Amino acid sequence: MRTYDAIIIGSGQGGNPLAQKLADLDWNVALIEREHLGGSCVNYGCTPTKTMIASARAAHVARRAPRLGVQTGEVEVHLREIVARKNEIVQQWRENQQEKAAERPTLDLYRDHGRFSGPQTVEVNGRTLQSKHIFIDTGTRARIPDISGIQGVPYLTNRTVMDLEKVPDHLIILGGSYIGLEFGQMFRRFGSRVTVIDHNERVVSREDPEVSEAVQEALQDEGIRFYLNHTIRAASPTDAGVELTLSDDEVLTGTHLLVAAGRVPNTDDLGLEAAGVDTDERGFINVNDRLETNVPGIWAIGDVKGGPAFTHISFDDHLIIFDNLIHGKKRSIEGRVVPYALFTDPELGRVGMTETQARAAGYRLKTGSIPMSRVARAIERDETAGLMKVVIDADTDRILGAAVLGTEGGELVQMLMTLMLADAPWTVLKRAVYIHPTLAEGFFALLEDVQLVE
């Protein structure tokens, strides 16, 4: 049996930096990873998808260039070259993570599957490792719905769809949220016909209705077809690809099927029962506001614990644990301001509550909302799809949440997040001087539109 100061299962965007920081303090650390270092973000999420989205946007801009008086000729998409570029960038990040692990003499990397055999022991590659500090960062995987015949269909997931080297003729996507919409627009811009199926009445259904509708309208304008308030009853393979029978008995045929219908945690093969770690009904690990499980000495980081499933949340999780464990602080995830983005075009930047959530929480509200067509820079760039919206506590004048659906929406919304972090009133920005012409200048009109909601 080998004893360590810390064992970290999973090398995602929380596990990796935590392992490195503890090793830098001369802790003996065991980092267990059965696949590639870097977790979903580096290997199957942020890095590869945004790399390919950049190629899709380049094709889109080239096709639209004549609107701006620029003639480009016929646009050709070479998916094999796009995938090769994506793989090269991913490999660079993998090697970077490998180098960081190798340069720390007190960090041992175990390339295999780790499984609890007790509350302080983990079995890996036939060896037993022991520690009083164990951190779980094993992430999630695609949820495959219980659809008749689905296992007989060569469906794709977010991992495998990025390995295609030929543009699908007709890509059908099950799921109208972040993963489904980003891939849908990407492949539409590569040249595929794209159909999105979702059981909800709106895409990105957790957002306010006007935001969801604006996202859908922008994607429909590019030719994406939507079947909302629909489910798939049955799936079967065909010579050309796949045949799907919908809940209303309509039959759809496509060449490829991408399943993007939610995520499940990678906890079913961790031996959590041997450690006594509690999970919820979906398998996500239960944690308190300091990311501790019900078992002393075991923590959970990132997507595996449920809640906001974003790389930056996983990274912040490790900072909270490190500050509490090493510096004796009492940091908590309670009240954490969470920004996030949907990387479609227009891009949706979001932070805090939606208006719907704020109403449900009982706040008295002020709101402001303007279309991007009122922003001079957006007009000049011919990128006027989308809107800006802010939700304010009428009793304190503090921003509760905001949405910016537009060019660079993810960048812009973080300006409003800064006010939230500073606990400053929204009026600080109301009469600010903005550079003209910039996208941020749109906040002037947005905040002029703020009024009490009856």
In angstroms, the Cα distances linking 343 to 15, 77, 168 are 25, 20, 21
Can 436 be counted among the known catalytic residues?
yes
Q: DSSP letters along 227-249, please?
A: EES--EEEEEE-SSSEEEEETTS
In angstroms, the Cα distances linking 301 to 13, 140, 248, 330 are 9, 12, 41, 17
**CB atoms near residue 67 (< 10 Å):** 8
Q: What is the 8-class DSSP label of residue 285?
A: B
Q: DSSP letters along 54-90, please?
A: HHHHHHHHHHHGGGGT---------HHHHHHHHHHHH
Tell me the C-alpha distance between 121 and 125, whole Å.
13
Reading phi first (left if > 0) and then psi (alpha if -120 to 50, else beta), residue 423 is in left
In sequence order, the β-bridge partners of residue 196 are 173, 226
> Choosing from 170, 256, 312, 436, which is the catalytic residue?
436
Among residues 407, 418, 423, 413, the alpha carbon closest in space to that of 443 is found at 413
27 Cβ contact list (under 8 Å, min separation 6) = 4, 5, 6, 106
So which residues are the catalytic ones?
Answer: 436
